[in-house]
Amino acid sequence: MARLLIPFLPDPITIIDINTFEESGATKYLPSDRAVRRLAASQLKSVSNAKDKLNGIGSLCVLSIPNDVYAQAESVPGRNQLTHLLGVSGRGYRNTLFIHQTSVHTLPSKVLEPISGVVLGIHLLHGPNITDFSKQTAIITDSNKKTVHDKYLDGYELLNYILRTQMGYGHVFRMGPERHDKIMANIQFLTHSMLLILGDALLSRGYKISPDNFHELPASIYILLGRMSRQPSHVYKGIATGNQFNFLVSDKIQGLAKINGNTELDWLCDAVRRFGDIRDELFKETNMSRREKDKICTPMSIVRDGIIEYARSRGSSTTHAQVNIETNVNRYLSALSSGYDRYFTSVMGEVKAKLAVLDFESLIMERYEALREVDHGPHRP
């Protein structure tokens, strides 16, 4: 995502992107925090003396690094957290705008605050392959203590201009890092939690996907998990364990135990409805406006909300058989404390094996051709 920004950012700029080290293989012999320090210390020197020229800002530094690197820096005692993160003291960068590009903003904001420049967070709520941003959403977060910085307004206006005018984002929201993370506990963490718990429950019950049922609700859970499997586990681990407000979700998830239902669809719809109730409670607790509910979303959360509406449209189950997903809930909550990578890899491995029976391209084209024939009659050359 940091590389997505590069064509739109004015020089001088430095990018501290952990992917640079991962692609070079450096992280095989260097821990992530040391790799970031090495990269940052060498590159920041090139922008430290830049003079005001970008509406009062001299240079930009974009940090695209895992949340656990910030966590390691925070664990360092005294005033050495920033030095542990960047390899520099932070002095001499008053004219530099530091932009942390992350999914969790409270911790990066806190660790970066002592730096002498302006600090803002950015969260682009879409995948890296988007090229038309007119319908997409971006969030800018203020660092708690940096709003009094003499270059703060210059930095904010520059970043806002880049997003709205240069990139053409249709929706840009501004908020504090803590409110951002409370909202993301719903939009991201709850979404991933729902899919992993219900996917694990389906796997436990031996649900098999096939070309005949790939459009049904249980198969949809597998397909969404298949999308998640395309990202390394540390991406989801960072979202799951790095957001201090995820307890707002996990505490509510603990209340999920026995789900009423008999058929496969009954129990699954009942479970989805309960996740929908958690979503609605979180909307209220974060005081989200109607526009925020409509526009602050990810591709995954949009589909999640569609699944919730579908389940609600089916009505409540009238049977009395019990389907217990408590084991699946406890397995997931335990993984949040330790062993997340192992849990995630295990679920994804089983899901990918289930999905291997499908040839998505041919299935989708068959449905497309069938729909086109219904709408327009037989295709004639």
Predicted local confidence at residue 86, as pLDDT: 85
Domains of the chain, first to last: 2-175 (3.40.50.720), 179-370 (no CATH)
pLDDT digit string, tens, across residues 163-194: 999 999 999 999 999 999 999 999 999 999 99
* Least confident residue range of 90-94, 294-298, 368-372: 368-372
Predicted local confidence at residue 259, as pLDDT: 72
Which candidate, 15, 117, 97, places its Cα nearest to that of 55? Answer: 97
**Mean pLDDT, residues 28-41 taken together:** 77
Predicted local confidence at residue 274, as pLDDT: 92
For residue 141, count other CB atoms closer than 10 A to its CB: 25
By percentage, how much of the chain surpasses pLDDT 90? 45
Predicted local confidence at residue 146, as pLDDT: 87
- Average model confidence (pLDDT) across the chain: 85
* Least confident residue range of 158-172, 200-214, 294-308: 200-214
Q: Is it the case that residue 375 has pLDDT exceeding 60?
A: no
**Mean pLDDT, residues 183-210 taken together:** 94
- In angstroms, the CA 181 to CA 172 distance is 16
Which candidate, 114, 103, 5, places its Cα nearest to that of 61? Answer: 5
Predicted local confidence at residue 138, as pLDDT: 96
CA angle 216, 351, 202 (to 5 degrees): 55
- The torsion angles phi and psi of 190, rounded to 5 degrees, stand at -60, -40
Q: Is it the case that residue 275 has pLDDT exceeding 90?
A: yes
Predicted local confidence at residue 377, as pLDDT: 47
DSSP for 151-214, written as a single string: THHHHHHHHHHIIIIIS--SEEEEE-HHHHHHHHIIIIIIHHHHHHHHHHHHHHTT----TTTT
Residue 281: what residue type? E
Residue 381 banded pLDDT, cuts 50, 70, 90: very low
**Of 166 and 41, which is predicted with more confidence?**
166
Using the structure block, give the residue that is written with the tokens 């058989």: 321
CA angle 274, 196, 325 (to 5 degrees): 55
**Mean pLDDT, residues 110-118 taken together:** 91
CB 96 within 8 A of CB 58: yes
Q: Tokens representing 254? A: 């603990």
- In angstroms, the CA 338 to CA 133 distance is 37
Sequence-distant (6+) residues with CB within 8 A of 174 are 139, 140, 141, 142, 156, 160
**Mean pLDDT, residues 241-246 taken together:** 92
Residue 105 banded pLDDT, cuts 50, 70, 90: very high
Residue 342 banded pLDDT, cuts 50, 70, 90: very high
pLDDT digit string, tens, across residues 9-30: 888 778 888 776 666 555 566 7
**Mean pLDDT, residues 320-345 taken together:** 87
**Of 43 and 304, which is predicted with more confidence?**
304
